[in-house]
Amino acid sequence: MHVYEVFLKKDGREEFRHAGALEASTEELALLLAREAYARRAEGDRLWLVRRDHVIAAADEFVAPNADKPHRHHDGAAVASRRRAAREASPDSSSSGTGGEALR
């Protein structure tokens, strides 16, 4: 028995998405099981199966050097706080009227 990872893709989308995994004794049986379990409701138009023992997995030490680079993926909170601080520090935001007060 082999474990297969199942990937599906809808037409018009660029990427395949991981749908799940299954066990099968042959490639043909794996395709049949994948179709019945993951593609029977038209979840995807394309189907890929990859034997899990053929997947190349990187060791944690290989990926670790990139863990200390949070600036590459952020939610925008740091930029928003800098902009808010700049608005509050600008002379226009403290003037009377609706200008700066309405935006806070």
How far is the C-alpha of 41 from the C-alpha of 19, rounded, in Å? 13
* pLDDT tens-digit readout, 13-69: 779 999 999 999 999 999 999 999 998 887 788 999 999 999 999 888 887 776 666
Domain ranges of the chain: 1-90
**Dist. CA 51–CA 27, nearest whole Å:** 9
What single-letter DSSP state applies at residue 101? G
pLDDT band at 93 (very low <50, low <70, confident <90, very high): low
Q: Which fold has domain 1-90?
A: Ubiquitin-like (UB roll) (3.10.20)
CA distance 76 to 35: 40
For residue 94, what pLDDT is reported?
52
Q: N- to C-terminal Cα distance for the chain?
A: 61
Residue bearing the bigger pLDDT, 3 or 40: 3
pTM to 2 decimals?
Answer: 0.58
Confidence (pLDDT) at 50:
96
Query: Is 51 within 8 Å of 3 (Cβ atoms)?
Result: yes
Residue that wins the pLDDT comparison between 13 and 93 = 13
Sheet holding 46-51, edge to edge: 17-24, 2-9, 46-51
> Which pLDDT does position 23 carry in this prediction?
97
- What does the pLDDT read at residue 11? 84
Q: What pLDDT score was predicted for residue 22?
A: 96
